[in-house]
């Protein structure tokens, strides 16, 4: 994960914890929220790994029980070792495989969070998060006006907060920070939408950001 990508994701987590009166926050408030967010992420990662391990152990125990109770092993002497038996790919075991895949995905997610937390200690990452927060704080009304202008048929107050925050971060970068290519900023906004929001969000966000670039950048 690149430093800027980590900055955007941490900024999104930070934005999710801000209330409407962003003007009241000071630099030290943002720092405390970042620290709190990272601690929450670490706790979440730990829980995800624990759940994955627990699920895999459950599946292992069920397979052992299946082998022990198989007719080929029930007929063997008590002190004899089990012989391997074929596991039928019934819908039941297919569901168990799906559970294993889910556990693996949770573990990968936890690793991603761990990397994000490590990067959060990088001075460049924290500095860029602060820059995003400061620029949005100074230009909140103009940025939200852009969102309202291009969110045809939508009241900004009724948009998903996660979508608004992704848009706010991207527009802050596009219109006020201006030190990354437009395509990179938009692509990473879409990745955040895919990761954290609904299936419809990426196309919705892409449409608004394209209009912002065309009109204001």
Sketch the domain layout of the chain as residue ranges.
3-216
Instruction: Considering only residues 98 and 113, tell me which one the structure prediction assigns the higher pLDDT.
Output: 98
**pLDDT (0 to 100) of residue 33:** 79
Residue 182 pLDDT grade (very low, low, confident, very high; cuts 50, 70, 90): very high
**pLDDT (0 to 100) of residue 113:** 65
Q: Is the pLDDT of residue 1 over 60?
A: no
Q: Is the pLDDT of residue 63 over 80?
A: yes
**pLDDT (0 to 100) of residue 58:** 84
Instruction: Considering only residues 94 and 54, tell me which one the structure prediction assigns the higher pLDDT.
Output: 54
**pLDDT (0 to 100) of residue 140:** 92
* Structure confidence by residue, pLDDT tens digits, 75-89: 888 788 888 888 777
**pLDDT (0 to 100) of residue 56:** 80
**pLDDT (0 to 100) of residue 186:** 96
- Range with top average pLDDT, 98-102, 113-117, 126-130: 126-130
Residue 209 neighbours by CB distance under 10 Å:
25
**pLDDT (0 to 100) of residue 136:** 93
Residue 119 pLDDT grade (very low, low, confident, very high; cuts 50, 70, 90): low
Query: How far is the C-alpha of 120 from the C-alpha of 127, rounded, in Å?
Result: 10
* Structure confidence by residue, pLDDT tens digits, 195-206: 889 888 999 999
In CATH terms, the fold of domain 3-216 is: N-utilizing Substance Protein B Homolog; Chain A (1.10.940)
pLDDT, mean of residues 179-185: 93
**pLDDT (0 to 100) of residue 117:** 66
Q: Is the pLDDT of residue 103 over 90?
A: no
Q: Is the pLDDT of residue 207 over 80?
A: yes
**pLDDT (0 to 100) of residue 163:** 92
């Amino acid at each position: 994960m690149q430093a800027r990508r980590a900055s955007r994701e941490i900024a999104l987590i930070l934005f999710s914890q801000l209330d409407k009166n962003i003007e009241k926050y000071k630099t030290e408030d943002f720092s405390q929220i970042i620290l709190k967010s990272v601690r929450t992420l670490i706790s979440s990662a730990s829980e995800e790994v624990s759940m994955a391990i627990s699920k895999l152990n459950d599946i292992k125990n069920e397979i052992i029980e299946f082998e022990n109770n198989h007719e080929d092993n029930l007929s063997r002497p008590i002190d004899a070792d089990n012989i391997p038996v074929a596991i039928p790919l019934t819908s039941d075991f297919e569901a168990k495989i799906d559970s294993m895949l889910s556990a693996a995905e949770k573990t990968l997610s936890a690793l991603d969070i761990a990397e994000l937390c490590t990067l959060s200690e990088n001075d460049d990452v924290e500095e860029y998060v602060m820059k995003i927060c400061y620029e949005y704080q100074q230009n909140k009304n103009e940025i939200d006006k852009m969102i309202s202008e291009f969110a045809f048929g939508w009241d900004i107050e009724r948009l998903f907060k996660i979508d608004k925050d992704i848009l706010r971060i991207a527009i802050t970068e596009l219109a006020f920070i201006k030190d990354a290519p437009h395509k990179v900023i938009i692509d990473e906004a879409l990745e955040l939408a895919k990761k954290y929001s609904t299936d419809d969000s990426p196309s919705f966000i892409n449409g608004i950001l394209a209009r912002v670039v065309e009109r204001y950048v």
